[in-house]
Copies of this chain bind each other. A is one copy, B any other.
Amino acid sequence: MNSYGTLFRITTFGESHGPAIGVVIDGCPADLEMDENFIQSELDRRRPGQSKITTQRKESDIFKIHSGVFEGKSTGTPIAIVIENQDQRSKDYGHLADAFRPSHADFTYEAKYGHRDYRGGGRSSARETAARVAAGAIAKLLLRKEKIEISGYVSQVGNIKTPPYTQLDLSKTENNIVRCPDEAIADKMIALIDKTRKEQDTIGGMVTCVIKNTPVGLGEPVFDKLHAELGKAMLSINAVKGFEYGSGFDGIQLKGSEHNDEFYNEGGKIKTKTNHSGGIQGGIANGEDIYFNVAFKPVATIMKDQQSVDKEGNVTTVSGKGRHDPCVVPRAVPIVEAMAALVIADFLLRNKVSRM
């Protein structure tokens, strides 16, 4: 199904080259001020064509709220947001009616549904994430009232990496086009992406996200652990191959005596001295910073010719056409943040019913 969340619940719809994409947000509490400028600014962060290292495709991504808002505030009823598709150029995609692009969803959709909208990937296009960003912006407005802050940034492109987030100034993320808060490393990342683009190729990357001021108690035991939902939310983003939080895969090599986070009392507040737990213990937030990494593969659409097969199994050549991102992570930052905001907003509501 195309819905996500339990109480703060979104349903997205739309294909990249259909009339419109959009989202219905159900469960947003009444009385939340809708800052439409903020929603637009979040969409602009995800929008194609924003710099030389993103796709040059132009989409203005103007949204319209159809329902659920009255006199500038939410009413508690479903908020429907529609974004019309403008720069459709269906002709770019006619050649894809039959050929299966390598590492795209063409073949699997064909196998599953029989009938599919092949233009630009249709439903499997990353265009769908614009709807998530719009919904995530509303979730962020909710979190803002609770002082919760979500900060994503690019922490790796190819083999170029930042140090841990605790050594970075996250307020600088938006200062450059790759969205890396360390200026010197950002320059190297930009150069690598630009070089890759000129080689008609693409490169992978990583987005790190930090959530501050989460109330103690968010999250549910057992299946809906806070990090399990964050993981699902991130893995549901196009091109994501991995998720880790806190010590993550590096934690494998640690001993329990090194990994455990000792509790202490800081002026009446229970804190931990270290934070290998990534702010989550037993699936529930403990009040420390939540942080996690999201691995993105290189974009599958490259400008080089590739061998493939068509629907009938005949050998065919797929040539790169259209305008695509050489590296997905700069534009993925707002998407990661949006999905994180949706997860936290949902748990904020769910947590209201854990006690009498």
Contact = CB atoms under 8 A, between A and B. Distances in A.
Nearest to A117: B70
A30 B22 CA distance: 20
A145 interface: yes
B228 A108 contact: no
A2 interface: yes
A263 B296 CA distance: 22
B261 A243 contact: no
A307 B66 contact: no
Interface in A265-288: 265, 268, 270, 272, 276-278, 280-286
Contact of A255 (B24, B105, B201): B201
A123 interface: yes
Interface in A54-78: 64-71, 73-78
B123 A306 contact: no
B241 A13 contact: no
Interface stretch (A44-52, A164-172, A179-187, A347-355): A347-355
A284 B108 contact: yes
Contact of A216 (B108, B159, B309): B108
Interface string A337-356: 00000000000010111111
Interface in A136-160: 142, 145, 156, 158-159
Interface residues of A, number: 151
Contact of A222 (B2, B115, B297): B2
Contacts of A103: 256, 259-261, 276-277, 281
Interface in A9-36: 9, 11-15, 18-22, 24, 26-27, 29-32
A306 B260 contact: yes
A13 B327 CA distance: 37
Nearest to A292: B242
A272 B11 CA distance: 33
Contact of A123 (B73, B221, B233): B221
8 contacts: A1-B6, A12-B78, A15-B75, A102-B272, A105-B221, A112-B284, A232-B235, A258-B298
